[in-house]
Amino acid sequence: MHILLIKPKARLRSVLGLQAFQRMEPLELGYLAAAAGPEHDTRILDLRLAAWPELDLLDSLRRFRPDLVGITGYSHEASSVKRIASRVRRSLPGTTIVVGGHHATVAPRDYRIEAIDAIVRGEGCAPFAQIVGALAAGRGLEDIPQVLLPNRSWRDDEERLWPLFPDPAMLPLPRRDLWDTRHYRSIWTGEKLPRWHPLFPRVAMVRTSWGCRMKCSFCIVPHLCGGIHRTRPVQSVVEEIASLAVDHVYFCDDENFIDEPFAWALAEALEARGVKKRYFAWTRATTVNRSPELLRRWREIGLDAAFIGFEFPSDAELKRAAKGGTVAANERALERLRAMDVAVHAAFMVQPEYRALEFARLRDYVSRLPPVQCSFTVCTPSPGTPDYQAMQPRIWVDNPHDLHDCMHPLTPTALPLREFVRSFAEQAHVALEKVPMRVNRHLAAPDQMMRVALAGRKYHQGLASIDRDYPAALRGKTAAAISPEG
């Protein structure tokens, strides 16, 4: 069979601005291609690379004529996924169209349209392999676990059940031969990188585990994985990393070091295998403070930076989000990592209820931190979480999925929307002064410096124009103006 796997191009300027700093591999499609098996002709179409995605899509359909099309997408890409599916259906009426990814998992009902034949929920390798096998054998797609059929036998009880995530040991190695690694780069930070180290190196994504034991109220991960954390076999991860054609590895785990025995074993095995790469990982302040020696060991084998969700500048806000940490713990983790020469990416969230005072308090807090790379999002619970259910009656846009990029407030803002957006964009702009490589005056080639400047400009413009994605009637509105009491 001919199988075409598609990753859509983002619609929102905020997301496109972020991608100016970071465009990662279509790893999920690499896994699906591996699951489909070598006996099929599988190709990946990454429309993020296309200047004219509609034309590239039509050209691929005309030339390749796939028997099966798979489309992945986050919630903010759901409308694009549906448009792509409809375009495929018009061009190739006999092609089977399957959708998957995050949005299909948390909001499958949104994909109940005529153009879509099957919806895969959860980890997609096993269900997709069964879909491919059924089609190759001329069978229907009924009774495949974690697959909903929107035009045949939709069952509400199946929709309400979270899909089961399998043993990570069952994951195949992704088909990285299906894309050109030169297209996938990320801004790379560090406390003490070598002189002239590239600012935008080629980067590979690697997943060593899935799940998280924590229960942050805004996060879907504990619900999807039942509050457990499961790891791949150490040797499988080592062989994958050793085989990479690039030197920089971005781990896409929900938390890399929460399983300490696994993290220790992986570090030792990578060193024993002679693997020399540079790493970026996600962790928690509580993990860093509990096991600083583990992070120090990873620094010895190449850890340059760690992403930590600081989230808020006050303990009260952290408690409301069930974060399980404190401001003091975040600051201790930052100091410990910097002492090891590991740079920190501190992620903060703002609430739609923020007024000028709260924005000023956050700016003041960030300004007092030692050198740190910061990012900012709007606290936006994922569909399927209790926080999202509680938020639903207050959602002020007709289709919240279209704006669900964690940078658009989905509920009325305390400030007029334009003023909120200005404050939010300015927060991110001011934080650029704290980036360790800027503070440390890291030397880089002129073209790299120009790329950083252009990416920063595009990112700031994307944030500063967020209000344009709302109906004109909402742009000057506040929560007070929209509420019945207002």
Q: Are residues 313 and 453 in the same domain?
A: yes
Number of domains composing the chain: 2
Is-contact 452 189, C-beta < 8 A?
no
Range of the domain at 285: 184-480
Closest CA to 260 of 215, 298, 294: 294
Residue at 172 is within a domain? no
Range from 61-65, 153-157, 322-326, 424-428 carrying the lowest mean pLDDT: 153-157
Using one digit for the tens of pLDDT, what is the confidence trace for 448-475?
A: 889 988 998 999 999 999 999 999 888 7
Q: Which residue has the tokens 């390798």?
A: 125
User: Over 70: is that where the pLDDT of 401 sits?
Assistant: yes
| Spatial CA neighbour of 185 closest among 25, 345, 14 | 25
Cβ–Cβ < 8 Å for 36, 54? no
Q: For residues 218 and 136, state if they share a domain.
A: no
Is residue 71 domain-resident? yes
Q: Report yes or no on 211 lying in a domain.
A: yes
**How high does pLDDT run on average in the chain?**
93
Q: What is the pLDDT of residue 166?
A: 84
The reported pLDDT for the residue numbered 23 is 97
pLDDT confidence band for 480 (50 / 70 / 90): low
**In-domain check, residue 114:** yes
Can you tell me the mean pLDDT for 147-161? 82
Instruction: Quickly state the pLDDT bin for 484 (edges 50, 70, 90).
Output: very low
pLDDT tier at 486, thresholds 50, 70, 90: very low
| Cα atoms found within 13 Å of the Cα of residue 307, Cβ hemisphere only | 16
The whole-angstrom separation of Cα 298 and Cα 287 is: 13
**Residue 334 domain-assigned (yes or no):** yes
Instruction: Give rounded-to-5 percent helix, strand, coil for the chain.
Output: 45, 15, 40
Q: Is 8 left (phi over 0), alpha (psi -120 to 50) or beta?
A: beta
The whole-number average pLDDT for the span 229-238 is 95
For residue 443, give the 3-state DSSP assignment.
coil
Q: How far is CA 163 from CA 158, 160, 175, 221, 416, in A?
A: 9, 9, 24, 12, 40
CATH number at residue 14: 3.40.50.2300
Task: Give whole-number Cα distances, 395 to 114, 216, 388, in Å.
Answer: 27, 21, 10
**Mean per-residue pLDDT for 381-407?**
92
pLDDT (average), residues 130-138: 97
Average pLDDT over residues 10-14: 96
For 165-224, write each residue's pLDDT tens digit: 888 899 999 999 999 999 999 999 999 888 889 999 999 999 999 877 777 777 788 777
Residue 165 inside a domain? The answer is no
Q: Are residues 423 and 365 in the same domain?
A: yes
Residues 41 and 107 in one domain: yes
Q: Is the pLDDT of residue 483 over 60?
A: no
E-state strands within 91-199:
96-100, 118-120, 147-148, 185-186
Quick one: three-class SS letters along 249-275? EEECCCCCCCCHHHHHHHHHHHHHCCC
Are 433 and 324 in the same domain?
A: yes
Structure-token match 């990454």, residue found: 46
**Are both 116 and 260 inside the same structural domain?**
no
Residues 6 or more apart whose Cβ sits within 8 Å of residue 157: none
Whether residue 67 contacts residue 43, with contact meaning beta carbons closer than 8 Å, is answered with no
